[in-house]
């Protein structure tokens, strides 16, 4: 069985380098043929909303919106249930292709055979 990545990004504009690194690793892994599941938690939850990734700017880094589009096209993007609720984000608010799921789904994903979990 091929290995896959589950990447949890907890940072947003509050820690731009850490945030961008998570999205960059996710997109690079997908480009290499690795299955990727990207979890938006904490302040990265805002990037599940249309247009928010376009507002994020980090010098010398790939645009976050492009990285998110790449992950949406080839992988899975999940918004944390509790993180969404704390920010009053609903399923009607989020980008098409993003799902909302909770801790039990995250645990199931990271405990699957052949999975490598990374947290940023």
pLDDT tens-digit map of 74-104: 999 999 999 999 999 999 999 999 999 999 9
Rounded Cα distance between 41 and 81, Å, is: 9
Residue 75 near residue 37, CB atoms below 8 Å: yes
pLDDT for position 83: 98
pLDDT for position 2: 79
Looking at the DSSP assignment, which residues form a beta bridge with residue 78?
39, 99
pLDDT tens-digit map of 25-83: 999 999 999 999 999 999 999 999 999 999 999 999 999 999 999 999 999 999 999 99
Residue 33 near residue 74, CB atoms below 8 Å: no
Kindly report the number of other CB atoms within 10 A of residue 41's CB atom. Answer: 22
pLDDT for position 1: 52
Rounded Cα distance between 118 and 75, Å, is: 15
């Amino acid at each position: 069985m091929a290995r896959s990545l589950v990447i949890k990004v907890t940072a947003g504009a509050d820690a731009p380098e850490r945030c961008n690194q998570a999205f960059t690793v996710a997109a690079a892994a997908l480009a290499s043929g690795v299955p990727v599941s990207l979890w938006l938690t904490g302040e990265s939850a805002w990037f599940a909303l249309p247009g928010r990734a376009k507002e994020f700017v980090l010098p010398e880094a790939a645009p976050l919106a492009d990285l998110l589009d790449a992950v949406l096209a080839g992988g899975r993007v999940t918004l944390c249930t509790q993180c969404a609720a704390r920010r009053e984000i609903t399923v009607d608010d989020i980008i098409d292709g993003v799902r909302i799921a909770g801790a039990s789904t995250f645990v199931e994903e990271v405990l699957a055979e052949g999975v490598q979990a990374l947290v940023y």
